[in-house]
C-alpha cells in the first residue's frame, strides 16, 4: 500500500484525470489541422459518402432500406473499431508520463475511449439528421437509442482496456489488432443482414456482441420495432462480467506497468 486513498476517491480521480486528458486531447487535435473542429463532422461524413457511393449508388445492392441499414452499421462499427485502435496504443504512448508520475494506468485507455465517445455523440446527431431526411422520421422507438449506446460503451471499455493492457507485453498486437478488427467488421453484419446467412448459423452471429448491437440500432431506427430484449439482457450480463474482469486486471497490474515499460 503506498498512498492512503479510499477506493471511491481513487476511482473519481481516475475518471477526472481521464476526462480532462480527453478534453485537452480533443482541443489539441483540433489545433493541429486547418479545419480544426470541423473535422469531427467532415471525417465521418466522408466515410459515409464513400460507402453510400460504393454500395448504395454503384452496386445498387440490397433493398430499399439498404442505404440506411449500411449507414447505421458503418457509424457504429467505426466508433467501436476506432476506440479500440486508439485505446490499444494508449499505454505505450503514455510511457513518458507513466515513468514521471504515479498515475493509474487505466487513465490512458480510458481517456482515449472518452475522446472517441465525445466525437461519436456528434456523429450520431448527424446520422439522425440524415436518417430523418431520408424519410426515417423519429419515432418513440428512438428513445431506446441511449440504452443501446450505453451497451456499446460497456463493450468498448473492456475491449479497449484489455488490448491496451496486453500491448506492452505483446508488442506484436500492433499488427494483430487491426487485422482482427478488419475480420470482425465482415463478421459483424455491417454490410449484410441475418437473412443472408443460413438459419443454422444464426446462433454464431448471435454470439457476436457487435452484431447484436448493430441489429438493435437498426430495429429501433429504421424497422420501428422493439429490439430483442432477451438477447440484450444476456449481453448486458456478459458485458458487466467482462468489465469487472478487466477492472480487476487493472487494479492488480496497475503499478507493474512503469517497470514493464521501462524494461
Partner 1 sequence: MSRLLLEMHDVHLTYRLRKSLLRSVYHPVINGVSLNVHQGQRLGIMGHNGAGKSTLLRLMAGIYAPDRGSVINHGARVSLLSLQAGFDPRLNGWDNALLSGVLMGMSTKEARQRLKGIHEFCELGDQMNDVLGTYSSGMRARLGFAVALAMEADLLLIDEVLSVGDQDFQEKSEKAVMHAVNQGCAMVLVSHSPIKLKKWTDSVMTFEEGIISPATLEMGCI
Instruction: Point out which residues bind partner 1 (CB under 8 A).
Output: 1-4, 13, 16-17, 20-21, 24, 27-29, 31-32, 97-103, 255-256, 258-259, 262-263
Least separation, in Å, of the C-beta of 156 and partner 1?
Answer: 24
Rounded CA separation 226/261 (Å): 47
Between 111 and 152, CB nearer to partner 1:
111
Q: In whole angstroms, how close is the CB of 20 to partner 1 at the nearest point? A: 5
Closer CB to partner 1, 46 or 260, in the complex: 260
Q: Which is nearer to partner 1, 11 or 258 (CB)?
A: 258
Q: What is the 3-state secondary structure (H, E, C) of the chain?
A: CCCCCCHHHHHHHHHHHHHHHHHHHHHHHHHCCCCHHHHHHHHHHHHHHHHHHHHHHHCCCCCCCHHHHHHHHHHHHHHHHHHHHHHHHHHHHCHHHHHHCCCCCCHHHHHHHHHHHHHHHHHHHHHHHHHHHCCCCCCHHHHHHHHHHHHHHHHHHHHHHHHHHHCCCCCCHHHHHHHHHHHHHHHCCCCCCHHHCCHHHHHHHHCCHHHHHHHHHHHHHCCCCCCCHHHHHHHHHHHHHHHHHHHHHHHHHHHHHHHHHHC
Q: Are 191 and 73 in contact (CB under 8 A)?
A: yes
Q: Pick the closer one to partner 1 by CB: 243 or 254.
A: 254
We find the least distance from the C-beta atom of residue 199 to partner 1, in angstroms, to be 46
Among candidate residues 70, 216, 222, the one with its CA nearest the CA of residue 136: 222
Supply the minimum distance, in Å, between the C-beta of residue 37 and partner 1: 13
Least gap, CB of 232 to partner 1 (angstroms): 35
Shortest Å, Cβ 191 to partner 1? 37
Tell the smallest beta-carbon distance from residue 29 to partner 1 (Å): 8
Chain Cα centroid distance, residue 238: 17
Q: Quick one: 24 or 187, whose CB is closer to partner 1?
A: 24
Query: Phi first, then psi: what are they for 5, rounded to 5°?
Result: -140, 135
Please say which residue, 7 or 199, places its beta carbon nearer to partner 1.
7
Amino acid at each position: 500500500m503506498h498512498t492512503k486513498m479510499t477506493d471511491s476517491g481513487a476511482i473519481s480521480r481516475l475518471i477526472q484525470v481521464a476526462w480532462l486528458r480527453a478534453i485537452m486531447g480533443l482541443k489539441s487535435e483540433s489545433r493541429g489541422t486547418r479545419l480544426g473542429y470541423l473535422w469531427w463532422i467532415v471525417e465521418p461524413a466522408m466515410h459515409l459518402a464513400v460507402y453510400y457511393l460504393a454500395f448504395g449508388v454503384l452496386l445498387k445492392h440490397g433493398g430499399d432500406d439498404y442505404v440506411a441499414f449500411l449507414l447505421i452499421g458503418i457509424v457504429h462499427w467505426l466508433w467501436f473499431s476506432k476506440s479500440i485502435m486508439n485505446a490499444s496504443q494508449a499505454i505505450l504512448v503514455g510511457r513518458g508520463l507513466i515513468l514521471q508520475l504515479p498515475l493509474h494506468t487505466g487513465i490512458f485507455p480510458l481517456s482515449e475511449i472518452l475522446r472517441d465517445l465525445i466525437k461519436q455523440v456528434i456523429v450520431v446527431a448527424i446520422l439522425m439528421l440524415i436518417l430523418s431526411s431520408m424519410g426515417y422520421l423519429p419515432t418513440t422507438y428512438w428513445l431506446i437509442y441511449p440504452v443501446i449506446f450505453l451497451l456499446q460503451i460497456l463493450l468498448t471499455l473492456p475491449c479497449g482496456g484489455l488490448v491496451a493492457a496486453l500491448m506492452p507485453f505483446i508488442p506484436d498486437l500492433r499488427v494483430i489488432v487491426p487485422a482482427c478488427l478488419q475480420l470482425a467488421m465482415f463478421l459483424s453484419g455491417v454490410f449484410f443482414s441475418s437473412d443472408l446467412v443460413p438459419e443454422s448459423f444464426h446462433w454464431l452471429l448471435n454470439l457476436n456482441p457487435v452484431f447484436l448491437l448493430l441489429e438493435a440500432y437498426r430495429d429501433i431506427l429504421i424497422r420501428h420495432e422493439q429490439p430483442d430484449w432477451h438477447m440484450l439482457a444476456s449481453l448486458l450480463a456478459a458485458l458487466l462480467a467482462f468489465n469487472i474482469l478487466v477492472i480487476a486486471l487493472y487494479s492488480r497490474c496497475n503499478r507493474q506497468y512503469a517497470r514493464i515499460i521501462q524494461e
